[in-house]
Amino acid sequence: MKILPHDTFTITTPDSVNIVRQRLSQKVEPPKAFRFYTKHAPYEGSISEDGFQISRIIHYRNSFLPMIRGRFEVQSHQTLIHVEMNIHPFVMAFLGFWFFFWYSAVIPILFTGSIPNHITPIFVSMPILMLFICWGSFWYEAKRSRTELTQIIQGQV
């Protein structure tokens, strides 16, 4: 079980890198600020000669959607695609700031005894619950993106 919102894996395909890029370009469209229609590719981002940087297009809010980066490696009879999924750095910075703010306010209050003992566990465990929700949201989306991306690259879709 992975704890940090970071995943790396490699997809192997016997197809050439040009075919892999073509399959990806059929399922990836350029980023747009607003989407007013539901007929679109499943991913948005950019594809270059060396790799790609994409994210899944969703119609709901999820700040923990993985940012997907891939790098192509050509070998004699196959193509390797090294994929890395991360949470957006701004979201990580916000979570760090929020935890710091929460505990820097709650711990002094706990030591002064201003909060009744039966409420103390709620104040201490609230950020841990939020972290679990964030972790679950990221890994749900990462697992789904990993499956879809593997199918796209191997030509199964």
- How many domains would you assign to the chain? 1
Tell whether 19 is covered by a domain. Answer: yes
Tell whether 81 is covered by a domain. Answer: yes
Tell whether 98 is covered by a domain. Answer: no
Encoding tokens for residue 126?
């609230």
Tell whether 107 is covered by a domain. Answer: no
Whether the Cβ atoms of residue 155 and residue 23 lie closer than 8 Å to each other: yes
Q: Provide the whole-model pTM.
A: 0.83
Q: What is the pLDDT of residue 43?
A: 93
Q: What is the pLDDT of residue 114?
A: 75
Nearest CA to 150 out of 16, 64, 142, 76 is that of 142
Q: What is the pLDDT of residue 1?
A: 60
Spell out the residues 6+ positions from residue 147 whose beta carbon is closer than 8 angstroms to its own. none
Instruction: Name the residue range of residue 29's domain.
Output: 6-90+129-153
Residue 73 sits in a domain whose CATH number is: 3.30.310
User: Whole-number mean pLDDT of the chain?
Assistant: 88
Residue listed under structure tokens 């940090």 = 4
Encoding tokens for residue 74?
């050509």
Tell whether 95 is covered by a domain. Answer: no
Whether the Cβ atoms of residue 89 and residue 69 lie closer than 8 Å to each other: no
Tell whether 118 is covered by a domain. Answer: no
pLDDT averaged over 10-residue windows placed end to end, the chain, 157 residues: 84 94 94 80 93 90 89 93 93 87 80 75 81 89 94 89
Tell whether 60 is covered by a domain. Answer: yes
Q: What is the pLDDT of residue 39?
A: 82
H/E element, 12: strand 6-13
Spell out the residues 6+ positions from residue 85 whose beta carbon is closer than 8 angstroms to its own. 6, 7, 8, 66, 67, 68, 69, 142, 145, 146
Tell whether 75 is covered by a domain. Answer: yes
